[in-house]
Amino acid sequence: MRPTALRPSFCTALHCIGVIHREMFWLAYALVFLGCLGLPPADAAVVEHTFSVGNLTIDRLGQRQVITAVNGQFPGPMLEARDGDAVVVHVVNYSPYNITIHWHGVLQRLSGWADGPSMVSQCPIRPGGATYTYRFNVTGQEGTLWWHAHVSFLRATVYGALLIRPGPDRPHYPFPAPYGEATLLLGEWWNASVVDIERQAMLTGGPPNNSVALTINGIPSGYELAVRHGETYLLRLVNAALSYQLFFKVAGHAFTVVAADACYTDPYNTDVIVLAPGQTVDALMHANASPGRYGMAAQVYQSVANATYTTTTTGLLRYEHGAEAAGMSTIMMPSMPEFKDSATAQDFYGSLTGLLRDGKPTVPLHVDTRMLVTYGLGIAPCMPTQTLCNRTRGSVAASMNNVSFQLPKAMSLLEARMRGNADGVYTRDFPDRPPVMFDFTNGSMSSNRSVMLTSKGTRVKRLRFNTTVEVVLQNTAILGSENHPLHLHGFNFYVLAQGAGNFNARTAVRSYNLVNPQQRNTVAVPAGGWAVIRFTADNPGVWVMHCHLDAHLPFGLAMAFEVDDGPTPDTVLPPPPPDYPQC
């Protein structure tokens, strides 16, 4: 396996961020779309790509497998832009499945039509060569994000990195410039069709089959990274796995975390990085060990008490000319945490703080709307379409405040909002609190069917424009306690506090970090615990919040915020583009 070539840490030529046009073809687009965002068109480039989605036959683990991929690549192509650029991606669907693309972590300011979750912001792009062009601006963001399919389990193979580099107004990182950088996408692999795996899970009403391997940049084992002794490298880590949080280590080396979810952090020194599905981490690694060969590993962090699935994927960090010159053949492997080492995971998650670039706190202190949202797994009666479901036991269901979220069938939520006709598509009555208060983290409640059974519905929470929202996310243990990563579309949020057990407002408020909390778009809420997030609803549209363990989304672990338009033209969501997909 050829080692990854480390690229310079900064773009020095326009061609490194894709195909960029400044012709008159895009002048109207730049003036209207970028202008409504308050961005001077002269400061923005247009980064344009075409994604051709189709079948790809590849060999992994000694087997030949047909997967869905973009441009014949697995993982898919890396997109690069600068803060302030406009991104245009033409998606052509030649695959046999419906497809949408979500730009994970992009704020989509006034561009909710490009967000991507199927039946939330759009109907899917149909098979047979149907097309849709995603147009959005990246504003006020820098760091590592990613893109992935947002239909079925297709994101298992349809994903790639999205790197946002500093813009011309602030062209440097807020940390010493690294010598080079590498992007590592951590994923999963099945020796089967992931669409069939999801379909089987839905038919039975149970969990999907486990993957057979973890991957680094699509490779189950054998990924190699070459470094030069004495230099510093920026590692961009993405957890693209469907089902597992991951520990990541490199033997003999330590990291300094400088960003998470494309939000800068105070420098945090550690020898282990923990990522939940959907999360990204930027970390500096100092290549200051004795020249040689060092193992790197991504290993499952298993937060479910009775789970037995454990797996690890390994790669190699090799010093250029080091091992060969010294005649070294031994590879030092990292000492990994235990698979169920929740203490190490929570120590990492809870230790990050946000970097105050201008020296001033930015957390909104006045709160307009407070919510307590309990979530987890429960039971629902088998549906008629679940032909293999045990009708005595029922089907696994997931819910938030006892509402198991159902995606609409005939029209996306965002289109219904635009038409001013939510009737028959969704209701605006998502509860601010759970219907029943109980000992949420007590696993013995699994025998109480009154708390196990959930109701199905497409219920959203309506917010006035510019409302500040505080949400307590309370994990439940009805069908077992698990660390659920919750992802909010359309916003970054502040993680004010996290803790174990049931949330207690009187004691928890003392631990709130209102000065420099970390910002995220995906938070790993502790198993049997809680997290408090706060954000300002200043982006009109419909934005889903859901568990990023992919099996939990079709079971209903989601809800949505409907944010009203603001009072001025530049705070109103524009109409959808002409090629907006129809159901």
Q: Which residues contact 506 (CB under 8 A, 6 or more apart)?
A: none
Q: Which residues contact 465 (CB under 8 A, 6 or more apart)?
A: 537, 538, 540, 563, 564, 565, 566, 567, 571
The end-to-end CA distance of the chain, in Å, is 44
Task: Tell whether the torsion through CA atoms of 446, 449, 451 and 456 is positive or negative.
Answer: positive
Task: Tell whether the torsion through CA atoms of 418, 423, 424 and 428 is positive or negative.
Answer: positive
DSSP helix/strand/coil, 199: helix
DSSP helix/strand/coil, 252: coil
Q: Token pair 């029943």 is at which residue?
A: 436
| Sheet strands side by side (includes 213-216) | 213-216, 180-189, 232-239, 280-286, 255-260, 263-270
| Domain residue limits, the chain | 46-174, 175-353, 369-571
pLDDT of the residue at 164: 98
C-alpha span between 578 and 221 (Å, rounded)? 44
* Choices 2.60.40.420, 3.30.70.270, 2.50.20.10, 3.30.1600.10: CATH for 369-571: 2.60.40.420
- DSSP letters, 381-429, are PPPTT-TTS-TTT-EEEEEETTEEE---SSS-HHHHHHHT--TTT-BS-
Scored b (16 or more CB within 10 A) or e, 78-108 reads bbbbbbbbbbbbebbbebebbbbbbbbbbbb
Whether pTM > 0.75 for this model: the answer is yes
Mean pLDDT per 10-residue interval, the chain, length 583 residues = 43 33 36 41 81 97 96 98 97 98 98 98 98 97 98 96 94 94 98 94 92 96 95 98 96 98 98 98 97 95 79 95 60 95 95 91 95 91 93 91 95 96 94 89 63 85 98 87 91 97 95 97 94 98 96 94 97 97 94
C-alpha span between 545 and 520 (Å, rounded)? 13
How many other C-beta atoms are found inside a 10 Å radius of the C-beta of residue 170? 11
CB-based contact 43:84 (threshold 8 Å): yes
Cross-strand bridge partners of residue 188:
214
How many other C-beta atoms are found inside a 10 Å radius of the C-beta of residue 296? 23
Superfamily of domain 175-353: Cupredoxins -  blue copper proteins (2.60.40.420)
Phi, psi of 570 (to 5 degrees): -85, 10
Burial of 145 (0-12, 13-18, 19+ CB in 10 A): buried
Residue 150 corresponds to which amino acid? H
Q: Domain 46-174, CATH 2.60.40.420 — does that match?
A: yes
pLDDT of the residue at 310: 83
Torsion from C-alpha of 20, 22, 23, 25, nearest 10 degrees = 80
- Angle of CA points 232, 234, 136, to nearest 5°: 155
pLDDT of the residue at 20: 36
pLDDT of the residue at 483: 83
Same fold, 46-174 and 175-353: yes
Cα distances (angstroms) measured from residue 328 to each of 252, 290, 292, 315, 332: 15, 11, 7, 17, 11
C-alpha span between 112 and 147 (Å, rounded)? 15
